[in-house]
Amino acid sequence: MTRPRLLVLGGRAGLIRACARLGVFVTAYSVEPGQAVLAPGQAGRVVEGESLSNAERIAYNLLRYDERSFDGVTTGYEEGIFSAAVLQALYGTARREVLATAVAFRDKREQKLRLGGCVEHAAIWLLPALHAAALPREARYPLVVKPADGVATAHTYVVHDDEELDEVARRVRDAGIDARGTFVVESFVDGEEWHVNGWTSGGRLQWFSASRYRAPLIRTKDGVVVSSVTLRPADHPDTFARLHEFTARALSGLDLSDGVFHLECFWRGDAFVFSECAARIGGGYVAETIRHMFGVDLYEVAVRLALGEHVAAPDVAQASASHGYLQLPAPDEPVTYVPTVADLLALPGVVEAEYDFRSGNVRPDVRRNSSARAGKVVVHADGERELEQALDAVLAYARSPHPVADV
């Protein structure tokens, strides 16, 4: 039997491992040294390239390896969304309409224009130039300034007056970015920031989970680390019913008929307000937290959807414990000890861990990008309050670590 062949843009480990479990031949297009790693004996190959956002260059590089035909294309990275859609059309694995859908999932202004009156969302304006004089009359501070096709919180700021906006413009210029017609401003939305993760298949929302960021992601600009609590539906039945309708309407407006998604929104206590949505698996330990809590493997779902399968809603048991994840900062200076993965797994509640920081490395700066981290953990506890306490304890340990694991 011939194995299905999947092109994975970027080396997202979860997608590559899912291909191995499902018996799929994977071609992993890697743009960083060591980014894509196949398991020993795994059916597949790694193709080295330069950029996930240049579909033409990707196609040429694949031809050099005589890679000409695939049964599907997917990516775990924001920069690869549009390229994946172009290559799907090129290889005949999806209808051409996916190109327009991909544009909406990369451009934050286009998203909100598409949504129209489908769901409530912040007002948004595209700036011809990044300075106060370019603001429309109806815009009122505070405002959120960010690239229209940005990734995570890179170059995203909250500004409260003209002076702060002009300071942001200076930072953007110093970073060598041409902001003319590429930045947007949005009305600031106050409330709890949530993220919703799941998939559509056959034009219907099949399954989703809901999580609450412990602090809005924009707070990473103040050095607050990313941390999230995934909610048990049984604890919030009315809110989940409302969120189901909200999410289904948003995804229908964005024309995501078959794909995984990571949607961010704000909960005001009586209504949800749309922030933005990605047609990919969420970053950090989003998928891993969902797997531990519900037994649902979003990586396998993404692979199956990319290969054209219908993936129906799973029969999921009620979660008996609360789960969340935490992105770890590097130890405080001076660094006297760097924890191991074994140390982290020995901490109360930690069920999965990854740690990349080494003494002497450049310290990850979450203030520049919310994806910056020294490591990450999935934590579980009996309830949400206990989970919050466990996450706080792990964070305190990460800042001032010491040996924990038995050696």
DSSP annotation string for 149-181: T--TTTT-EEE-SHHHHHHHHHHHHHTT---TT
Q: Average pLDDT of 118-125?
A: 94
- Which DSSP helix (H) or strand (E) runs through 394? helix 384-399
Thinking of the domain 192-399, which architecture would CATH place it in?
2-Layer Sandwich (3.30)
DSSP 236: -
Q: Which of 175-184, 267-276, 356-365, 379-388 is predicted with the least confidence, judged by mean pLDDT?
A: 175-184
> Does residue 152 register a pLDDT over 70?
no
- Exposure string over 191-202, b if 16+ CB within 10 A, otherwise e: eebbbbbbbbbe
Instruction: Give per-residue pLDDT as tens, 192-237.
Output: 999 999 999 999 999 999 999 999 999 998 999 999 999 999 999 9
Q: Domain locations in the chain? A: 5-105, 123-187, 192-399
CATH number for 5-105: choose from 3.40.50.300, 3.60.40.10, 3.10.20.30, 3.40.50.20.
Answer: 3.40.50.20
Instruction: Give per-residue pLDDT as tens, 253-287.
Output: 999 999 999 999 999 989 999 999 999 999 999 99
Q: Average pLDDT of 141-154?
A: 84
* Contact (Cβ atoms closer than 8 angstroms) between residue 305 and residue 365: no
CATH of domain 123-187: 3.30.1490.20
